Amino acid sequence: MRIKIDLHNHSCLSPCAADDFTPSLLAIQAMDMGIQALALTDHNTCLNNSAFKEACKLCGILPFYGIEVTTVEDVHVLVLFEKLQDSLEFGSFIDYLLPPTKNNPHLFGNQLIVNDEGEVQGTFEKSLLGTSGISFDDTIEEGLSRDALVIPAHIDRPANSALANLGFLPNLSYSAVEAIHIPLKAETWGNTIITGSDAHCFENVGRRAFFLEIEELSFSGIKEGLRRGLVTYRQ
């Protein structure tokens, strides 16, 4: 079967995202756009994944519980889990590594933790915009050791990417590699190339979703589909 997937999206917990961009709104808009598998990947935290789980359940979407880790090299890496609890445990690990710098919402934006109805339950105090204290190589290794999908994010972007910050994509084991522009003019070591919306507001949802041929709509089915590389980028 051919399914529509988007594995890179934020919520109101990311300070650079809109305050009204709740996990529920993300899931509803994705459902309306025919997206069947969806990830929430807030910067350096997984604390809105619980609300995301309930939203995806109501919308009939397969959820990927994710995080966008900012490594010490200032490179963004998507780490995506099948199970909510696994994502929360990894999020706690990243939280422990975050520097104690407090967020300044007036300068950088709010970091809102919400429930499945979009009601604010609290705020994340430490800044989520800085580096997390873990290297690029160690992020890849740690994510894979926890049976997550590990995907270097927007590697062709001129900031916060492997090509911009490292100068190249290291030859490591990835679940896939995310790019903004297709075709990608870079050495990717034979890895499957996907696109992702990197949505920070309602209007961005689905703008760079991709399509994948799979045998089963499940975490393992999509993992295998990415390994096989049967990806297309247009309807």
Taking residues 31-53, what's their average pLDDT? 98
Residue 235 has pLDDT above 70, yes or no: no
pLDDT for the residue numbered 32:
98
- Summary mean pLDDT of the chain: 97
Model confidence at 214, pLDDT cuts 50, 70, 90, reads very high
Residue 113 has pLDDT above 80, yes or no: yes
Q: Which domain holds residue 170?
A: 2-232
Taking residues 34-63, what's their average pLDDT? 98
Taking residues 175-192, what's their average pLDDT? 96
Task: For the beta carbon of residue 121, count every other beta carbon within 10 angstroms.
Answer: 12
pLDDT for the residue numbered 11:
98
Whether residue 219 contacts residue 82, with contact meaning beta carbons closer than 8 Å, is answered with yes
Identify the CATH number of the domain in which residue 16 sits. 3.20.20.140
Q: What percent of the chain has pLDDT over 90?
A: 99
- How far is CA 217 from its chain centroid? 19
**Domain count of the fold of the chain:** 1
Residue 50 has pLDDT above 80, yes or no: yes
Q: What percent of the chain has pLDDT over 70?
A: 100
Beta carbons within 8 Å of 106's beta carbon, 6+ residues apart: none
pLDDT for the residue numbered 234:
77
Q: Specify the pTM.
A: 0.98
